[in-house]
Amino acid sequence: MKGNNNKVYRHTKLEIAIHWLTAVSGIALIISGLGEMPMYKRYNITKLPFLSFLGSYEINLVIHYLFASLFIFAVFFHIVYHLRRKELSLLPKKGDLKESYLVLKAIIKGEKEPPHEKFLAEQRLAYVAIGSVSLVLIITGLIKTYKNIGPVVLNPDFLMIVTLVHTVFTMFFIILFVLHIGAFIVKDNRELLKSMFTGYVKYEYAKRRHPKWIEQIEKTSK
Amino acid sequence: MEIKLTRRKFLLTAGTIAVANLLPPPVDSEAMVSSNSFATLIDLTKCDGCKNYSVPLCVSACKEANRDKFPEPDRKMLKPYWPQKFFDDWSSKRDVIDRLTPYNWIFVQRIKINKEGKEEEIFVPRRCMHCDNPPCAKLCPFGVNKKHPEGPVTIDCKLCFGGAKCKDVCPWGVPQRQAGVGVYTYLDPLPVGGGVMYKCDLCFDRVKKGQNPVCVNKCPKNAISFGRREEIFAKADLLAREKKLYIYGKEENGGTSTLYLSPVTFEELDKAVLQENKEKKQVMRFHKPKNMLDKYKNLAKLILLSPFVAIISAFISAKKVNRED
Ligand code: HEM
Ligand code: HEM
Ligand code: SF4
Ligand code: SF4
């Protein structure tokens, strides 16, 4: 087992860096993306201190462009990196739907959760959800960006669908983002939150909540 | 193990090539607007503002031809855009012809200039320029403002939400909003949307049938000519050279499909327009706007590259860590 005795190594520095790059750029994309819609002026958000810049479509476009390139970098890096290292513990397994229901029920009722692997069943499902929504946003975003590099005239009906998908998937992205943050209302999950900064979780925590994960680490390190 | 790695390498290369092929190389900007698309030439040496008519004929023809497309707002929906205190309603001002409105898609600007000590008047029919790289269409968050390969830029009234972004990003403020119509009315009382945006659609239905826009045909002075871009642009260049005229619309906002020919410079016209409309909030100018999308073209190209940079660097760093293990 990596780390010293009462800590378990959960995320590498690189993984942490990539996660926060997605998080920061994802949030900036939500803010600047909504700024590409006629919203902030209408709802007087531009009148709040320091936020008047949000009223400019031009500034929002530049912010959106900048963070889109970072977001795309982080997402593609993540996919290729972990595929190449065969680190697939975030991919859903059979029975995850049922298990995540049981976990949720246990959390709500304050009962004991079923034993977890490295990630909870709902994390694996959420991963696929936010991952595919992100990919759709990236693909449609790339098409939207491509048509902006000059007088490129693509089929307007195709572009309408691309644009509507980009806009609607933004709503999905925001919902998943809120759920992702909302997960840290559950006290046990805050141990995981710490790990996204330090890279470690406490051994007692892991042993109690993620016994299947610990079992696996202990097996391979022997 | 060896075989798997090479297979993955192969897939990666194949994937990269496939994606790269999906993106045609960024061609020289001019080349992407088809020379076969349509363009308009408006010759200001010919237009006399229809002085002998109560309404300029291009204006009345346009109003007549598009009558069925004009908005008929639901009275109950004519209320402020919460939390704002205003709303855009032109339904009781349908006769306004000295500016663009949802009920008036072309108007004639009357500009007084000083030519060699003499006061002269220039008349300018103004409407949407049908730009080559129109920010109004490209930045519409619903994609319902469309740039067609044939040249026209049109707004789908059935799906427009009336957020007026297109008006804000148009350097000439062309699209005009009418409240009380369109999809947003179905969402009432949710405070979203504001109506529908209206502007010249270059008589797209007629153009598709091989006919001219009606304003072109109705002009008694033949001041407006319409045709294939290549021919119209050549004609403009020739006339400009022969008669020492100035051209507007070729470079502005990154290029448009509407060219103006004038005996005086457009800087002068712009100054005069601003001078005469000092008290008005919105003036349709003859400035030299840069295209907002063109300005950030290189940043956009960088985005198109970032997937490849990511794939390559992930490939390399994953290998390094593997060796450490
Ligand atoms: C977290 C991911 C993202 C979110 C939440 C998001 C959100 C939005 C929203 C709400 C809009 C305005 C509505 C619309 O035009 O459809 C927008 C516009 C835009 N988005 Fe995104 N976006 C994301 C990622 C991307 C990416 C990765 C790219 C580029 C590859 C991109 C490129 C654009 C562009 C160019 C526009 C401006 C409108 C246009 O030119 O068509 N977006 N985005
Ligand atoms: C748009 C922004 C974000 C995206 C796209 C994103 C995406 C992800 C993904 C895909 C994971 C993998 C595991 C899982 O699905 O739970 C993850 C884990 C995690 N995220 Fe985010 N995230 C974002 C923002 C945030 C923010 C703002 C926080 C902190 C408040 C955060 C905290 C965490 C933590 C603590 C984990 C690790 C959980 C664990 O160790 O199992 N994320 N994130
Ligand atoms: S003149 Fe304005 S409304 Fe017309 S195409 Fe150009 S940007 Fe769009
Ligand atoms: S082209 Fe048609 S819609 Fe446009 S101003 Fe002329 S008559 Fe009106």
Q: What rounded mean pLDDT belongs to chain B? A: 90
Q: What whole-number distance in Å separates Cα of residue B78 and Cα of residue B71?
A: 12
Q: What whole-number distance in Å separates Cα of residue B60 and Cα of residue B215?
A: 9
Nearest to B304 among A82, A85, A146 (CB): A146
At residue A4 the predicted structure's pLDDT band, cuts being 50, 70 and 90, is low
B148 has a chain A CB within 8 A of its CB: yes
For the CA of B201, the nearest ligand? 4
Predicted confidence (pLDDT) per residue in A24-42, tens digit? 999 999 999 999 999 999 9
Q: What fold characterizes domain B30-303?
A: Alpha-Beta Plaits (3.30.70)
B90 touches B175 (CB < 8 A): no
User: How far does the CA of residue A51 sit from the closest CA of chain B (Å)?
Assistant: 18
Pocket of ligand 1 contains residue A36 by CB under 6 Å: yes
In 3D space, the residue among A16, A17, A21 whose CA is nearest the CA of residue A199 turns out to be A16
B15 has a chain A CB within 8 A of its CB: no
Neighbours of B136 (CB within 10 A): 26
At residue B191 the predicted structure's pLDDT band, cuts being 50, 70 and 90, is very high
Q: Which of residues 33-52 of A touch B (CB under 8 A)?
A: 36-38, 42-44
Nearest to B146 among A78, A146, A156 (CB): A156
Residue B99 backbone zone (phi > 0: left; psi -120 to 50: alpha; other: beta)? beta
A160 has a chain B CB within 8 A of its CB: yes
- Which residues is B146 bridged to in the sheet? B154
Q: Which residue has the higher pLDDT, A26 or B321?
A: A26
pLDDT (average), residues A142-156? 94
Distance between terminal CA atoms of chain A?
Answer: 9
Predicted confidence (pLDDT) per residue in A57-112, tens digit? 999 999 999 999 999 999 999 999 999 999 999 999 999 999 999 999 999 998 99
Q: DSSP readout, B227-276?
A: EEHHHHHHHHHHHHHHHT-EEESSSGGG-BSEEEEESS-HHHHHHHHHHH
At residue B4 the predicted structure's pLDDT band, cuts being 50, 70 and 90, is very low
Select the residue from B303, B309, B319, B323 to test the A interface by mutation, using most A Cβ atoms within 10 A: B303
Taking contacts as CB-CB distances below 8 angstroms, the residues of chain A near B11 are none
Q: What is the bridge-based pairing of β-strands B224-228 and B246-248? A: unpaired
Amino acid type, A13: K
Per-domain residue ranges for chain B? Answer: 1-25+309-325, 30-303
At residue B17 the predicted structure's pLDDT band, cuts being 50, 70 and 90, is very low
Residue A6, pLDDT above cutoff 50: yes
Q: What is the bridge-based pairing of β-strands B38-43 and B258-262? A: parallel
What's the predicted TM-score (pTM) here? 0.91
% of residues, chain A, pLDDT over 90: 94
Q: What whole-number distance in Å separates Cα of residue B161 and Cα of residue A46?
A: 21
Predicted confidence (pLDDT) per residue in B90-130, tens digit? 999 999 999 999 999 999 999 999 888 899 999 999 999 99
The structure tokens 């709503």 sit at A171
Compute, in angstroms, the gap from residue A30 CA to the centroid of ligand 3. 27
